[in-house]
Amino acid sequence: MTDFAALQAAVLKGNRNDVKDIVQQAIDNQEDINAILDRGMIPAMREIGERFSRNEAYVPELLIAARAMQAGLTLLEPLIAASGRKTLGKVAVGTVKGDLHDIGKNLVAIMLKGAGYDVLDLGVNCDIGKFEEAVAQGASILACSSLLTTTMPYMKEVVEHFKGRKVKIIIGGAPVTQDYADEIGADGYGEDANGAVKIVDKLFQEA
Amino acid sequence: MAKQPLILEFLNGTRPEAIPFMPIFMRYAARFGKVPYREFCLDVEAHCRANWKTAKAFSSDWVNVMSDPYAESEVFGAKIHYPEDGLPQESGHALADLDAFPECAPEEFLASPRIAARIEQIALFSRHNPEPLLICGWVEGPLAEYCDLRGMGDAFLDLYDQPEKVHGIIDKTMHLAMLFIEKQIQAGAHCIGIGDAACSQCGLEFYREFAFAWEKKLVDHIHCLGAIAKLHICGNTTAILPDMIATGADIVDIDHLVTDMTPYVPLLAPHQKLCGNLDPVAIIQNMQPDQIKAAARKALAQAPGKLILSGGCEITPDTPAVNILALAELAKR
């Protein structure tokens, strides 16, 4: 029997050696892969996201938890591929054109991956062409990040470019607000990395 | 006796009724002064000219050397690209290997172009300061500098994985920061700002372990040299604010993400003031002048006689001039 509580605790503490040991043991015991993810690692990453939103956890805790989860995922990935398990959906994350800040974008990518989404990290300085490529690769949601007020208007260009198409656009970043998201017609706004996961959850549920 | 800058008078209690106005102008100053951002960062005269012009137009009570965080990290090997009219960009991080931190002699540090330019900026401000305005130098704080060198992701993982090495590198960068402080004060700075923005992202435990002691040491050093210290950590600093105040910094910046300043006022020593904390985008950039004044009054009411009026961080370049003038008018009234 896999100790899912111990697995969750190891992810939350960022203890990658424990995560590796527990996941390996679970694999050896032919534990259901979905259970390892859905009862062990994903709830832990969602919990750390909630703590982050409540200012009970900070960026280092998110990073170390994500690294621990990745240690487990590395062991699981071949089995996940073989099992045909579907991710919750594909989301592309990128900092918009003109903006080279990546920490917020990286946190969103980490949290989405931790929540069970397939994440395409487009990097920084992303133009519409890059977002188009992501859509061509199957992204259903484009998450656009901006730290600078001077690059925020590019989010509007992205929203307008994809208007009328099935793909959803969500936005976030330090100067970005719900009001701005409403103003430019974005499909959602993430106040922080955990907020981005919640809005992605909502959009996929509505789809 | 020579007239003192208003901010100093407010801090030392001779002008308790004043409301000093201390907005952070960087990209705004460059645009307002019609100086391409590359020049604003690299050209001493252009930087000072744009700063003066902006300070005068908006009745700001200070001028400063702020433009970007890379002055020090460039000395330590960071490759910085300066676009003609954009923010400087770091191509890769300077410190891929923690054991490869470059030894940097004090004379080499001081002779590097960005460091020398900052000291020259202070000297130029100081040579012509009839108002007088508060002249503020700047250094990167311990954790911010470490993040500049490593990138925030790797830097924060290092805090867990290699704390001794992190301390060692911070010690080296901060010893040079002490020297940089000394030269800026000798050049005429009344105040030295310590920018340590990364601390709002790391939580109290890491702040105490990696930043607080050095911030306090920098503040003490500034005081020993006869200047005042300003501690700038933007973002949500709710968890670390009591410790920030405990550094003894004379001016403790507060961003808008700290929603209520009231609990922190009793923690201030008589020489200390808070500075902030209007939202630079949602309020200063996007609201109407009357709404901005109302928000400023609300902020001032949270720390009566203890607040220097400012945005929580940099005034954004697209902020309408009338919005900044509204704040200046409120402060000067």
% of chain A residues with pLDDT over 70: 100
User: Over the stretch B189-215, which tens digit does the pLDDT of each residue have?
Assistant: 999 999 999 999 999 999 999 999 999
| B159/A106 Cβ within 8 A | no
Residues of A in contact with B206 (CB under 8 A): 58, 60
Predicted local distance difference test score (pLDDT) of residue A83: 87
Any idea where the domains of chain B sit in the sequence? Answer: 6-332
Q: Which residue, of A61, A83, A105, is where some domain finishes?
A: A83
How many domains, in total, are found in chain A?
2
ipTM: 0.93
CA B99 to chain centroid: 30
Q: Could you tell me if A77 and A113 lie in one domain?
A: no
Do A72 and A94 have their domain in common? no
Q: Residue B156 is nearest to which of A57, A63, A177, comparing CB atoms?
A: A63
Residue A202 and residue A134 share a domain: yes
- Residues in chain A with CB shorter than 8 Å from the CB of B281 are 149, 175, 177
pLDDT (0 to 100) of residue B187: 98
Would the CB atoms of B153 and A106 count as touching at under 8 Å? yes
pLDDT at A181 exceeding the cut of 70? yes
CB-CB neighbors (< 8 A) of B87 in chain A: 100, 148
Task: Give the B-side interface with A, CB within 8 Å.
Answer: 27, 86-87, 89, 152-153, 156-157, 159-160, 201-203, 206, 236, 238-239, 280-282, 285, 316-318
One domain, residues A95 and A197: yes
Which of B26, B201, B257, B323 to substitute to test the interface with A, most A CBs within 10 Å? Answer: B201
pLDDT of res. B1: 63
On whether the pTM is more than 0.90, the answer is yes
Cα–Cα distance, A197 to A201 (Å, whole number): 6
Q: What CATH number is given to the structural domain containing A168?
A: 3.40.50.280
Residues A191 and A136 in one domain: yes
Note whether B317 contacts A14, CB cutoff 8 Å: no
CATH number of B6-332: 3.20.20.210
A52-75 pLDDT, tens digit per residue, is 999 999 999 999 999 999 999 999
Contact A64 B160 (CB under 8 A): yes
State which residue of chain B sits closest to A178, comparing Cα positions.
B282
Give contacts of A150 with chain B, Cβ < 8 Å. Answer: 27, 316-318
Q: Are residue A66 and residue A152 in the same domain, yes or no?
A: no
* 3-state SS track over chain B: CCCCCHHHHHHHCCCCCCCCECCCCCHHHHHHCCCCHHHHHHCHHHHHHHHHHHHHHCCCCEEECCCCCHHHHHHCCCCEECCCCCCCEECCCCCCCHHHCCCCCHHHHHHCHHHHHHHHHHHHHHHCCCCCCEEEEEEECHHHHHHHHHCHHHHHHHHHHCHHHHHHHHHHHHHHHHHHHHHHHHHCCCEEEEECHHHHHCHHHHHHHHHHHHHHHHHHHHHHCCCEEEEECCCCCCCCHHHHHHCCCCEEEECCCCCCCHHHHHHCCCCCEEEEEECHHHHHHCCCHHHHHHHHHHHHHHCCCCEEEEECCCCCCCCCHHHHHHHHHHHHC
Taking alpha carbons only, the member of B146, B228, B147, B145 closest to residue B181 is B228
Could you tell me if A57 and A141 lie in one domain? no
Name every chain B residue with its beta carbon within 8 A of the beta carbon of A171. Answer: none
Please answer yes or no on whether A175 and B316 come within 8 Å at the CB atom. Answer: yes
Question: Mutate which of B70, B281, B283, B291 to test chain A, going by most A C-beta atoms within 10 A?
Answer: B281
Q: CA-nearest residue of chain A to B85?
A: A98
* Domain finish residue from A49, A83, A117: A83
What pLDDT sits at residue B284? 96
Q: Are residues A112 and A63 in the same domain?
A: no
The stretches in chain B having pLDDT less than 70 are: 1
Residue B18 tokens, joined = 């004043």
Q: Do A102 and A182 belong to one domain?
A: yes
Measure A115 CA to nearest chain B CA, in Å.
Answer: 19
Q: Are residues A15 and A32 in the same domain?
A: yes
Supply the range of the domain harboring residue A63: 4-83
Together in a domain, A58 and A143: no
Q: For position A102, what pLDDT does the model report? A: 87
- Contact between A128 and A157 (Cβ < 8 Å): yes
The CATH number assigned to the domain holding A70 equals: 1.10.1240.10
Residue type, B171: D
CA gap B222, B208 in Å, rounded: 20
**A97 and A189 part of one domain:** yes
Query: Are A60 and B203 inside 8 Å of each other by CB?
Result: yes
